Amino acid sequence: MASWQTLSDRINIVSPSATLAVDSKAKAMKAAGVDVIGFGAGEPNFPTPQNIVDTAAAACRDPRNHRYTPTAGLPELREAIAAKTLRDSSYQVDANQVVVTNGGKQAVYEVFQILLDEGDEVIIPAPFWTSYPEVVKLAGGNPVEVFSGHEQGFIPTVEQLDAARTPRTKAIILNSPSNPTGAVWDEELVREVGKWALDNHLWVISDEIYEHLTYDGVRTSYVGELLPELRDQLIVLNGVAKTYAMTGWRVGWMVAPVDVAKAASKLQGHMTSNVSNVSQRAALCAVAGPLDEVGHMRQAFDVRRNAITTALNAIPGVSCPTPQGAFYAFPNVEALLNRALGPKGSIAASSAELAALLLDEAHIAAVPGEAFGAPGYLRFSYALADADLAEGMRRMHEWVTA
Ligand X SMILES: Cc1ncc(COP(=O)(O)O)c(C=O)c1O
Query: Which residue lies nearer to ligand X by CB, 239 or 323?
Result: 239
Confirm or reject binding of residue 252 to ligand X (CB under 6 A).
yes
Please state the length of the chain: 402
Select the residue interacting with ligand X from 48, 65, 176, 179 (CB under 6 A). Answer: 179
Select the residue interacting with ligand X from 91, 109, 129, 215 (CB under 6 A). Answer: 129
Minimum distance from residue 145 beta carbon to ligand X (Å): 16
Region near ligand X per CB under 6 A, out of 100-108, 149-157, 182-190, 347-355 = 100-108
Minimum distance from residue 348 beta carbon to ligand X (Å): 26
Q: 45-84 mask for ligand X (x: CB under 6 A)?
A: ----------------------------------------
Region near ligand X per CB under 6 A, out of 98-106, 228-236, 311-319, 368-376 = 98-106
State the CB neighbour count (10 A cutoff) for residue 310: 12
Q: CA 258 to CA 97: how far, in whole Å?
A: 5
Confirm or reject binding of residue 209 to ligand X (CB under 6 A).
yes
Distances (CA, A) of 177 to 52, 262, 325: 25, 28, 5
Q: Which residue has the closest beta carbon to ligand X?
A: 103
Half-sphere exposure of 284 (CA within 13 A, CB side): 18
Buried/exposed code over 12-44 (b: 16+ C-beta within 10 A; e: otherwise): eeeeebbbbebbebbeebeeeeeebbbbbbbbb
State the CB neighbour count (10 A cutoff) for residue 387: 9
Confirm if 73 and 274 have CB atoms less than 8 A apart.
Answer: yes
Which residues fall within 8 angstroms of residue 270, CB to CB, at 6 or more apart?
none
Query: Which residue lies nearer to ligand X by CB, 161 or 209?
Result: 209
Minimum distance from residue 120 beta carbon to ligand X (Å): 21
Select the residue interacting with ligand X from 40, 73, 104, 373 (CB under 6 A). Answer: 104
Tell which phi-psi region holds residue 122, choosing left (phi > 0), alpha (psi between -120 and 50) or beta.
beta
- Which value, in Å, is the radius of gyration of the alpha carbons in the chain? 21
State the CB neighbour count (10 A cutoff) for residue 276: 18
State the CB neighbour count (10 A cutoff) for residue 118: 8
Confirm or reject binding of residue 103 to ligand X (CB under 6 A).
yes
DSSP-derived secondary structure for 71-90: TT--HHHHHHHHHHHHHHH-
* Chain residues 290-329 in contact with ligand X, contact rule CB under 6 A: none
Confirm or reject binding of residue 39 to ligand X (CB under 6 A).
no
Confirm or reject binding of residue 371 to ligand X (CB under 6 A).
no
Select the residue interacting with ligand X from 110, 120, 207, 211 (CB under 6 A). Answer: 207
Region near ligand X per CB under 6 A, out of 101-109, 267-275, 342-350, 385-393 = 101-109
Confirm if 379 and 330 have CB atoms less than 8 A apart.
Answer: yes
Minimum distance from residue 17 beta carbon to ligand X (Å): 9
Minimum distance from residue 250 beta carbon to ligand X (Å): 7
Query: Which residue lies nearer to ligand X by CB, 91 or 244?
Result: 244
Confirm or reject binding of residue 141 to ligand X (CB under 6 A).
no
Query: Which residue lies nearer to ligand X by CB, 89 or 175?
Result: 175
Minimum distance from residue 252 beta carbon to ligand X (Å): 4
Query: Which residue lies nearer to ligand X by CB, 207 or 293?
Result: 207
DSSP-derived secondary structure for 150-176: GGGTT---HHHHHHT--TTEEEEEE-S
225: enclosing H helix or E strand? helix 223-226
Confirm or reject binding of residue 243 to ligand X (CB under 6 A).
no
Select the residue interacting with ligand X from 17, 113, 247, 322 (CB under 6 A). Answer: 247
Query: Which residue lies nearer to ligand X by CB, 127 or 342?
Result: 127
Q: Which stretches of the chain bind ligand X, using CB under 6 A?
A: 42, 103-105, 129, 175, 179, 207, 209, 239, 241, 247, 252
